[in-house]
Structure 1
Amino acid sequence: MHTRLLVTSAGSGASGNLMRSLRAGTPSLTIVGCHDDQFILKNSQADRNYLVPSSSQPAWGRALRRIVDAERIDLVIPTSDGDVAALSRARARLGDRVFLPRATTVDLCGDKYRLTERLRTHRVGAPVTYEVTDLRRIERIFERLGRPSRVWCRVRAGAGSRGAIPVASPEHARSWITYWRDMRGVSPTAFTLSEYLPGRDFGGQSLWKDGRLVLVKTYERLSYLGSGSQPSEVSAVGALTKTVCEPRVADTCVRAVRAVDKRASGVFAVDLKEDSEGVPRVTEINAGRFTSGTNLLDLTGKHNMTAVYLQLARGEAVGLHEEYEGTEHYYMLRDIDAVPRLFHADEFFDGVEDARSQGPGEGRQPERSDRP
């Protein structure tokens, strides 16, 4: 069955990775791209491209409807949180051309503080978090957190670790929030302070249909793009990630999605970090879009998640039920201006000699390490 897709924010790294996964899993495709930036759009890998208004404008939905009609689009797939929110608002105009979680779910997951409150209410692991209501009350939040040596400060909405930084004192937090208020126009009430999670950094991506879990996969971030220029030293985008078999992580992801939507449909990308005792805690849920590094999960293992997603969106039977595919030992490398590369652990040092202590030609293959 030939399928015609419209992918938003075409030309971005996330859209390029999504298109690679889609074409690998479903060869009979026509992909149309759209973006509001003509220069980014020029980098699109789609078969055809359209310049559209910003997704923050009502005209965006009308433009998408015109593209859907002109190109006979079967499904619109968003690639950013902003696009998910805009597409959710425009779903009445697009009808069955979207496969998204419910609007209330998209709204809930877009607010990290409300999300954390929901998860903790349902006994799903999430960091203790307080909203900043007044700069003068930050000391009180530190007291409620037990005055730890580190507290996590971040903006409660947005992607890419926006406004995120570890702080050691109320003065640190107040200065950071004041900077964002004065230089970036972000209100102090947009920030939260939460317990710092020092452990491993995981992600889980799952597919759902009418409240039924179809497929879930997990991975771990080992290093980050742009970490040297990030005050937090971490990023939402992994430079080196690997597939992992971590049933406890998968279970937490599944419980988190069920806590936010008992009738979940579509794709959910969950971020987690371990606390000081090694327990995974949910820090974020991107409802309605694939993770930007979805290639690692789509191009390894038995099932390409984007292909299963298309089948579910078309109402086809997929023969999967609550399947956890814990594939191990596959890595993905990402860098600026480079196409992501996937390797199995056994291939990682093919063609590489260790010349750190011996001359060229006298070395041996380096020993494998899970850490960069």
Structure 2
Amino acid sequence: ERVKPDLFHVQISAEMIMVSSLRDRLPCKTFLPAHQTILTCEDKFASFKAWENAGIKVPGTMIINTEEDLKIAFERFGPKLWLRFTSGSAGRGALPTSDYDEARLWIDFRKGWGKFTAAECLEEQTITWQSIWKDGELIVAQGRKRLYWEFANRVPSGVTGITGTGVTVSDPVVDEIALKCIKAIDPRPNGIFGVDLTYDRNGIPNPTEINIGRFFTTHQFFTCAGLNMPHIFVMAGLDRPLPIIAKKINPLSPGLAWVRGMDILPVLTTETAIEDSRKDLQERITKLSSHRQDSD
């Protein structure tokens, strides 16, 4: 009431759920998916069931209510399981393990019985598909792969929710699966849908969650590369004319890279430039090593 915003947007899940539940009572506009869509996407097991029912390839998953459930999960999906909370972000509670006792103790420690899922373990390669929709129509979407998680060695799962380097991609297979995932949960999408996928051993991207109603943390990457999604989102939310978007799906060139780290500004470069720098560094190391051997 004091600030009188034209559009109200939040980036934290708990806040978004509250804002969504109060949207009809707010004195300003919101641009959110349907409330039930938000609740489904915030529950990783509920979204898994929606995709499974739609015939989308997903890793076998079950809720772990008891120790017997955990034993069954190892029998069905083992030898290695991926454990995680059904809600939360940044890899909350995630643990890959092949050891039943370790899994049981982990769930005990996290007080997670009835709140954890156990799933078939996928490969390390991940990809994200961020999109903006308006009343069921796709406005724009862009794919981005993740080369690594920043600070991955600080957590048991290696997943921190902090992308170290992201790279733009354009993959029709990913596009098709991401679209199916969104429509399986909401046939009339509205707002932001960020589909996270992880590749299985056969090279098929499997959806693992949808980051609903909010941008991922590297959205500045796309803006600096020429696709200002926050601006597009605001204009769509306020029912104002949208900027001209020549290509709805993957308008950015593939191979653009966004490198991030602690206490440094992000760098926009290309995957090719990174590889060239890596080769140059290796050549320098080889020359230095050779020089030292000659000196000895």
Q: Which residue of 1 aligns with 2:79?
A: 149
Matched residue, 2:239: 315
Deviations 1:108-139 (A, max 9, x none): 11100011001110122322110011123311
Are 2:16 and 1:87 aligned?
Answer: no
1:172 maps to 102
More displaced 10-residue stretch of structure 1: 73-82 or 154-163: 73-82
> Is 1:256 paired with 2:211?
no
Percent identity, aligned pairs only, is: 26
Match of 1:357 among 263, 282, 286: 286
* CA distance in 2 between partners of 1:333 and 1:242 (Å): 9
- 1:125 aligned residue: 57
Tell me the SS of whatever aligns to 1:149. Answer: coil
253, 257, 262: which is aligned to 1:331? 257
Give me the whole-angstrom Cα distance separating, in 2, the residues matched to 1:201 and 1:226: 16
Distance 2:44 2:31 in 1: 23
| Paired residues for 1:1-372 under 5 Å | 69-145=1-77, 148-181=78-111, 187-301=112-226, 303-318=227-242, 323-325=248-250, 327-345=253-271, 347-348=273-274, 354=281, 355-359=284-288
Question: Would the aligned equivalents of 2:197 and 2:207 in 1 still touch at CA under 8 Å?
Answer: yes
- 1:171 shift after superposition: 2.1
Question: Contact 2:168 / 2:254 at 8 angstroms: preserved in 1?
Answer: yes
CA contact (8 A) 1:219 1:241 kept: yes
| Mapped partners of 1:94, 1:327: distance in 2 | 39
3-state SS of paired residue (1:77): coil
| Superposed displacement of residue 70, structure 1 | 2.2
Runs of 4+ residues over 4 Å off in structure 1: 319-322, 346-350
**CA offsets per residue over residues 65-122 of structure 1, 9 Å max, x none?**
xxxx322311112112222112112212225521000110111111000110011101
Distance, in Å, in 2 between the alignment partners of 1:277 and 1:103 is 35
Q: Partners of 2:253 and 2:246 in 1: how far apart? A: 17
Paired residue secondary structure (2:104): helix
**Could you state the TM-score of these two structures normalised by the residue count of structure 2?**
0.89
Task: Give how far 1:322 is off.
Answer: 8.0
Over 3 Å counting, the alpha-carbon distance change for 1:159 and 1:323 in structure 2 is: same
Q: Cα distance, 1:345 vs. partner?
A: 3.6
Matched residue of 1:208: which SS? strand
Q: Deviations along 1:313-365, whole A, 9 cap, x unmatched?
A: 11134355982115211111111223322213455467x963212259x9xxx
- Please, what is the CA RMSD of the aligned residues? 2.2
Q: What is the CA distance between 1:230 and its match in structure 2?
A: 1.1
Contact 1:226 1:235 in 2 (8 A): yes
* Aligned counterparts of 2:131 and 2:265: Cα–Cα separation in 1: 24
CA contact (8 A) 1:202 1:218 kept: yes
Distance 1:73 1:96, change over 3 A: closer
Aligned AA (2:287): Q
Cross-structure match for 1:6: none
Partner residue in 2 for 1:60: none
Counterpart-to-counterpart distance in 2, 1:214 and 1:293: 19
| Preserved CA contact (<8 Å) 1:296 1:330 | no
**Mapped partners of 2:272, 2:186: distance in 1:** 40
Q: Which moved more, 1:100-109 or 1:330-339?
A: 330-339
* Structure 1 residues 131-185: Cα deviation after superposition (integer angstroms, max 9, x where no partner): 011123311222232xx2211111110011000011103222111111112xxxx
Task: Give the letter for the 1:74 counterpart.
Answer: D
C-alpha deviations, 1:41-60, integer Å up to 9, x for none? xxxxxxxxxxxxxxxxxxxx
Q: TM-score, normalised by structure 1?
A: 0.71
Q: Is the 8 A contact 1:215 1:321 kept in 2?
A: no
Distance 1:341 1:275 in 2: 30
